[in-house]
Every structure is written in structure tokens, then in C-alpha cells.
């Protein structure tokens, strides 16, 4: 059993050299029709509602955890960028490849990215995003966006274009700056633990702040599009463990264990709302019941699983202290996390 797991892990890392650039020439395959539907809705200006920048950052951090995840995240962006180019190319033809950059930039604006500036030259393209989340995590986080720009440019130029995020608002810069480049995106190891810590501290500050939370701004469709990479079955187990870990870290940061039940419920509701983990309905009867409801776009089982893992982490220690046990239940389309009495473990009061 153990040997099998080890082999699966090893396989997930190996990408044969001969396949390395195959994705550039092949038609995008996975999730294609779903992806196209999401892209179409953003391009048409019909994108729905809004997701907080913190929620987008949470998924982005999880997708940037290891060098191989980062490489996958960049490649996912490339596939989406190519599909986007295909959508625009049906409506108009670009005489010069840099003409398309205007459409690409409008797309990011429609997706909720706010102010964007750009320079398009025959040999170099620079795109600056000024309204991304300003939060110092010590690492550049917008690999998916870099990939999207690279995919779009590659499709419009008909030759390989790489894009690097040279400055990032998650790495003490004023804006995120993307440049076309000849070399591949850097996928080296980052101090992920430090980035997680800084993120959790900021989320905690937002949740505990008395005033109303920040206005959501990212389109639901874009959020769904960028997070599809988390569903890759080579990494899903790890991603779920990371969601659980981050929930636990946030619980410690918030000091959930020492809160009164009412304040704890309120804090859980606010955290779930800020991080777009569904809508939490909490029933405070004899048991502590949390029912999570998901919008249609996020009702895929895997996203619900990630939310449940996160909540599980968030409540685990609080439950331990009261002799309760966290149980996660999925019944039809309702997902619930329930704290219930469990038999005390020997030696633990
Ligand atoms: Zn950035």
C-alpha cells in the first residue's frame, strides 16, 4: 500500500522532456468546454457577483506551494490564455500580434482586476496590474496570470512566448509587472511557510476588524477559472491537506479556542464569507451545526471538499477542548460540518 503511494508521488513529478512543449501545439483538452463558457461570460461582460481578493489569493497560494505546482499553474494559465485568444480571434483578426494585447487587457479588467497599464512593442510586451491585493507574502504569486498572457501571446504570434512576473504586489512592489521574455517562468522553491503565515495574519486582521469587510471585486467566473488547477488529481490530496493546515493556522491566529460560542460562530461565518468558502448557516441548537451552501459555480464536489477541509482545520482544536468531534457530512447537495459529542480519548480530559 505504502509502496504504491510512493510510486504515484514519483510519477507526478516526472514530465518527460519530449512532452515538455507538447501543450503549445496541442489543442487545450481538459475542462475545455467549461473553461470556454466561463471565458465567454467574462468577455461578454456578464460575469457574476464578486469574490474577495483574499479568496483569490488563498487559492493562488495553494496553487503555488511547490515548484511542480507552480509549473502546472503556469501551464494551466497558458491553456486558458490560448482559449481566450481563440474566442477573440473568432470575432476579429489581428494584423499584428501586439494588437491583441488591448483585448487581453480588457479581459483582465472585466475579470475584476481594476487599473491596468501596458506597452506593446514588436519585440517586448509589458503589462502592469495596479489593483492586485497588496499584501507582502515574500513571493510573486501571479503565475496563472503570467501563463495566461504567455498563452495568449503565443497563440497570436504563432511562436513560443514566455512571460515573467518581474515585480509583484505580494512581494513588496506597488504593482504586478509582467514582461514577455525568452526564458521560461521561474519555478524555484519559495519560502511558502512564511507566505502562509503572512496571509493568515492578514485574514485574521480582516475577520476580527469590527467594520464591514472589503468589497469583493473579482468575478466569480475568473475565480473558478483560475482555481481549476487545484482539482488536478495528482495534487488534490496535498491541496486538501494544505486547506486543513491553513484552517488550523487561522484558528490559532484568531484565538478561536478562547472565544465564547456566539463569538466563535460569528468569526467562523465571517472567515467563510471573506474566503468565499460558501455561505455558512450556523444552527446553535444542542449540536453545533454548520451548513455550507455553495453557488452553482462552486458547487463542484472538489471545491466543497476544500472548504470542508478548511473548516475542519479551523474548528479542530476548539472541538478538542470541549470534548467534541468534528464530523463532515455530505447529504445530497448540502455539505455540513458538525461538532458532536464523542467518547473521550483515554488520558485526555
Ligand atoms: Zn503579482
CA of 131 to the centre of ligand 1 (A): 10
Q: How far is the CA of 284 from the centre of ligand 1 (A)?
A: 41
| Per-residue pLDDT band at 347 (split at 50, 70, 90) | very low
Q: Is the pLDDT of residue 215 over 90?
A: no
pLDDT of residue 129: 97
Calculate how far, in angstroms, residue 166's C-alpha sits from the geometric centre of ligand 1: 9
* Whether the predicted pLDDT of 6 surpasses 50: no
Spatial neighbors of 17 by CB under 8 A, at least 6 apart, are: none
Q: Tell me the pLDDT of the chain averaged across its residues.
A: 81
Q: 2-192 — its CATH code?
A: 3.30.1380.20
Q: Name the residue ranges covered by the structural domains of the chain.
A: 2-192, 233-341
Please say whether the dihedral angle defined by the alpha carbons of residues 64, 146, 59 and 17, taken in this order, is positive or negative.
negative
- With CA atoms as reference, report the closest residue to 222 among 58, 65, 41, 89: 41
Q: What is the C-alpha to C-alpha distance for residues 137 and 132, in angstroms, rounded to an integer?
A: 13
Residue 159 CA, ligand 1 centroid: distance in Å:
25
Q: How far is the CA of 141 from the centre of ligand 1 (A)?
A: 5
Quick count: other Cβ atoms within 10 Å of Cβ 193? 9
- How far does the centroid of ligand 1 lie from the alpha carbon of residue 140, in Å? 5
Contacts of 303 (CB under 8 A, 6+ apart): 227, 294
pLDDT above 60 (res 70)? yes
pLDDT digits (tens, 9 = 90+) for 139-150: 999 999 999 999
Contacts made by residues 286-291, CB under 8 angstroms, sequence distance 24+:
287/338, 287/339, 287/340, 288/261, 288/324, 288/338, 288/339, 288/340, 289/336, 289/338, 289/339, 290/336, 290/337, 290/338, 291/334, 291/335, 291/336
pLDDT of the residue at 210: 65
Question: d(Cα 23, Cα 30) in Å, to the nearest integer?
Answer: 11
pLDDT, tens only, 227-238: 999 888 888 999
- Residue 240's pLDDT is what? 92
CATH superfamily of domain region 233-341: Trafficking protein particle complex subunit 3 (3.30.1380.20)
How close are the terminal C-alpha atoms of the chain, in Å? Answer: 35
- Given a contact cutoff of 8 angstroms between Cβ atoms, the answer to whether 319 and 305 are in contact is no
Dihedral (C-alpha) 173, 179, 185, 187: value to the nearest 10 degrees? Answer: 0
Tens of pLDDT, residue by residue over 77-117, are: 999 999 999 999 988 888 888 889 999 999 999 999 999 99
C-alpha neighbours within 13 Å on the C-beta side of residue 279: 5
Around ion ligand 1, residues with a beta carbon closer than 5 Å are 142, 168, 176
Are 63 and 230 within 8 A, CB to CB?
yes
Query: Which range scores top for mean pLDDT: 173-177, 237-241, 288-292?
Result: 173-177
The full length of the chain comes to 349
Q: What is the pLDDT of residues 294-342, one digit of tens each?
A: 665 666 778 888 888 898 888 887 777 666 666 666 666 666 666 665 4
Rounded to whole angstroms, how far apart are CA atoms 335 and 307? 10
Please state which of the ranges 32-36, 107-111, 169-173, 191-195 shows the lowest mean pLDDT: 32-36
Whether 62 contacts 243, CB under 8 Å: yes
Amino acid at each position: 500500500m505504502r509502496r504504491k503511494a510512493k510510486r504515484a508521488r514519483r510519477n507526478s513529478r516526472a514530465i518527460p522532456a519530449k512532452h515538455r512543449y507538447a501543450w503549445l501545439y496541442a489543442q487545450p483538452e481538459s475542462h475545455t468546454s467549461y473553461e470556454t463558457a466561463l471565458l465567454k461570460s467574462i468577455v461578454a461582460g456578464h460575469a457574476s457577483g464578486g469574490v474577495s481578493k483574499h479568496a483569490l489569493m488563498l487559492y493562488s497560494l495553494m496553487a503555488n506551494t511547490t515548484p511542480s505546482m507552480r509549473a502546472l499553474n503556469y501551464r494551466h494559465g497558458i491553456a486558458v490564455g490560448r482559449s481566450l485568444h481563440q474566442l477573440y480571434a473568432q470575432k476579429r483578426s489581428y494584423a499584428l500580434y501586439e494588437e491583441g494585447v488591448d483585448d487581453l487587457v480588457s479581459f483582465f479588467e472585466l475579470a475584476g482586476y481594476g487599473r491596468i497599464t501596458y506597452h506593446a512593442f514588436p519585440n517586448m510586451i509589458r503589462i502592469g496590474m495596479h489593483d492586485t491585493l497588496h499584501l507582502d507574502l515574500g513571493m510573486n504569486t501571479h503565475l496563472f496570470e503570467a501563463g495566461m498572457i504567455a498563452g495568449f501571446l503565443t497563440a497570436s504570434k504563432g511562436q513560443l512566448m514566455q512571460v515573467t512576473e518581474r515585480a509583484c504586489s505580494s512581494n513588496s512592489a506597488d504593482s504586478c509587472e509582467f514582461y514577455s521574455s525568452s526564458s521560461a517562468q521561474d519555478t524555484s522553491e519559495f519560502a511558502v511557510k512564511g507566505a502562509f503565515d503572512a496571509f493568515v495574519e492578514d485574514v485574521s486582521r480582516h475577520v476580527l476588524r469590527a467594520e464591514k469587510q472589503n468589497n469583493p471585486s473579482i468575478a466569480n467566473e475568473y475565480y473558478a477559472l483560475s482555481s481549476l488547477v487545484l482539482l488536478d488529481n495528482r495534487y488534490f490530496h496535498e491541496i486538501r491537506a494544505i486547506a486543513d493546515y491553513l484552517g488550523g493556522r487561522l484558528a490559532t491566529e484568531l484565538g478561536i479556542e478562547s472565544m465564547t460560542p456566539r463569538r466563535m460562530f460569528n468569526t467562523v461565518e465571517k472567515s467563510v464569507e471573506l474566503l468565499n468558502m460558501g455561505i455558512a448557516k450556523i444552527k446553535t441548537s444542542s449540536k453545533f451545526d454548520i451548513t455550507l451552501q455553495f453557488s452553482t459555480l462552486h458547487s463542484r464536489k472538489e471545491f466543497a471538499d476544500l472548504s470542508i477541509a478548511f473548516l475542519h482545520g479551523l474548528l479542530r482544536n476548539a472541538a478538542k477542548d470541549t470534548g467534541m468531534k468534528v464530523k463532515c457530512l455530505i447529504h445530497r447537495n448540502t455539505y455540513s460540518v458538525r461538532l458532536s459529542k464523542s467518547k473521550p480519548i483515554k488520558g485526555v480530559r
